[in-house]
Amino acid sequence: MAECPVCAADIQLPDDTVAGELIECPDCGTELEVTSVNPFKLAEAPSEEEDWGE
Ligand SMILES: [Zn+2]
């Protein structure tokens, strides 16, 4: 169980979750990065929707 850093929802993570994995909060839809698995810690993932090309 981990806590969403954005909306504080409890998120159930599968046992095979690995650090660096990206998941989506089922509550607020924010993309989250698993920064640690023991214990589970989540951080808001950097947006990849930005247009770097310009
Ligand atoms: Zn959330």
Q: How far is the CA of 14 from the centre of ligand 1 (A)?
A: 17
Q: What is the pTM of this model?
A: 0.79
C-alpha 26 – ligand 1 centre gap (Å)? 7
Distance 54 CA to ligand 1 centre (A): 30
CA 15 to ligand 1 center in whole angstroms: 20
Structural domains in the chain?
2-44 (2.20.28.160)
pLDDT tens-digit map of 8-49 = 999 999 999 999 999 999 999 999 999 999 999 999 998 766
Residue ranges with strand state E in the chain:
2-3, 10-11, 22-24, 31-37, 40-44
